């Protein structure tokens, strides 16, 4: 445990009856970081957050908050305010009363309460709605009330449970920058649970990827994107082409992955023996296309084009290699202009061995 650790999970397990929601979590949350916990539904991410908030008790293991074990501390004795997916604003209180709620529970004097609530309402740009009912606000405004209500006590840590999932796309992007700026300005540790890769990767300093109650990988968004730690992560992110095979070393000391589609050279191998089962991932943006078999390339694969998709200035080309393996290539329009893009046409996919990432797992 380092001095800048705020929260640590030590061998935390959570069972609901016979169902294991979370199996052995060991990780730390640093002071002042924006941590996103990402995974598909049922992966245990919300349970993890609820245990941190004190809304569920761990079945095994210890959760420490600022070094102190908090397993038996009920949620109303911890300072772990949460922003809920449904926001959970009190409909029988107006905006100001909602924001003042936590202060009132601490016995903060009325004048002080009012001053701090107003300060946060102004900061969230909802000062003019102070006397409104919750039902009279838009989705974005409610979001801001929910944030103000949790932040008014100026906690060390803020927990967010998919708070943006109910907003439309444009508002979502705007709220993402609001959240990121808020986190940077206040220095409060944010723990943000989401199933959305774009939310996690655009806001978080570090991302935890969970699957079936276990952590698959922890790292910076860059790191996880370029070097997925497990085959699951690579598949979950969906931005890489994935090949499985056996590792081989040639006489010159180079390495290659022998796959049913051919032998692909790679440079990025550490601590792996020849003969080991491994997975190669290549980002779809680092995968290139050619009309004729390119000379001098070591990693070339013939594939038939099966579809294309345009989003803004970026195009994704879908191809099918032997054995039905799907290949994705993502490029700007101008990079594709010279290619004969027709459905059913055979093209050549190639990539640089330096861009191939190896996972020690088949």
- Interface ranges with another protein (CB under 8 A): 53-55, 74-77, 80-82, 84, 86, 88, 90-93, 101-102, 105-106, 133, 135-136, 149-150, 153
Phi/psi at 131 (nearest 5 deg)?
-95, 5
Contact 151, 79 (CB under 8 A): no
**Judged by CB, which is closer to another protein: 93, or 248?**
93
CA dist list (Å): 318 to 261, 324, 355: 17, 12, 20
Q: In sequence order, what DSSP letters do the residues of 52-112 get, joined into one string?
A: HHTSS--SEEEEEETTEE-TT--GGGS---EE-TT----TTSBHHHHHHHHHHHTT--HHH
Q: Closer CB to another protein, residue 55 or residue 173? A: 55
Q: Which is nearer to another protein, 77 or 110 (CB)?
A: 77
CB of 83 to another protein, least distance (A): 9
Distance in Å, CB of 155 to another protein, minimum: 10
3-state secondary structure at position 315:
strand
> Measured from the CB atom, is 106 or 271 closer to another protein?
106
The SS3 assignment for 117 reads helix
Q: State in angstroms the smallest separation of the CB of 76 from another protein.
A: 5
Min. distance of Cβ 288 from another protein in angstroms?
Answer: 49
Closest approach, Cβ 284 to another protein, in A, equals 39
Question: b or e along 121-130 (b: 16 or more beta carbons within 10 Å of the residue's beta carbon)?
Answer: bebbebeebb
Least distance from C-beta 103 to another protein, angstroms? 9
For another protein, the closer CB: 154 or 309: 154
Nearer to another protein, 75 or 119 (CB): 75
164 and 199 in contact (C-beta within 8 Å)? yes
Lookup: tokens for 80 = 């772990």
């Amino acid at each position: 445990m380092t001095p800048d650790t705020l929260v640590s999970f030590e061998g935390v397990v959570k069972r609901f009856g016979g169902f294991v929601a979370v199996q052995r979590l060991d990780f730390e949350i640093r002071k002042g970081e924006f941590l996103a916990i990402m995974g598909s539904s049922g992966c245990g991410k919300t349970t993890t957050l609820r245990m941190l908030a004190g809304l569920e008790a761990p079945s095994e293991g210890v959760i420490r908050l600022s070094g102190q074990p908090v397993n038996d501390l009920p949620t109303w004795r911890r300072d772990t305010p949460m922003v809920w997916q449904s926001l959970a604003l009190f409909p029988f209180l107006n905006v100001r009363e909602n924001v003042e709620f936590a202060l009132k529970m601490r016995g903060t004097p009325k004048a002080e309460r009012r001053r701090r609530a107003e300060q946060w309402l102004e900061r969230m740009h909802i000062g003019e709605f102070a006397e409104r009912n919750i039902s009279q606000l838009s989705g974005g405004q409610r979001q801001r009330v929910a944030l103000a209500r949790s932040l008014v006590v100026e906690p060390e840590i803020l927990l967010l449970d998919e708070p943006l999932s109910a907003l439309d796309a444009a508002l979502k992007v705007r709220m993402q920058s609001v959240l990121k700026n808020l986190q940077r300005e206040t220095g409060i540790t944010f723990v943000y649970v989401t199933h959305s890769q774009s939310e996690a990767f655009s806001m978080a300093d570090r991302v935890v990827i969970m699957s079936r109650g276990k952590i698959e990988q922890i790292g910076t968004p860059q790191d996880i994107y370029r070097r997925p730690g497990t085959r699951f992560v690579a598949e979950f992110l969906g931005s890489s082409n994935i090949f499985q095979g056996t590792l081989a070393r040639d006489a010159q000391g180079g390495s290659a992955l022998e796959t049913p589609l051919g032998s692909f050279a790679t440079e990025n191998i550490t601590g792996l023996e020849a003969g080991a089962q491994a997975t190669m991932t290549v980002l779809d943006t680092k995968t290139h296309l050619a009309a004729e078999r390119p000379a001098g390339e070591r990693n070339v694969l013939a594939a038939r084009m099966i579809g294309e998709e345009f989003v803004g200035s970026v195009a994704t080309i879908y191809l099918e290699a032997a054995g039905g393996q799907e290949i994705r290539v993502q490029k700007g329009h101008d990079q594709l202009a010279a290619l004969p893009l027709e459905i059913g046409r055979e093209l050549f996919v190639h990539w640089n061995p330096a861009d191939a990432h190896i996972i020690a797992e088949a």
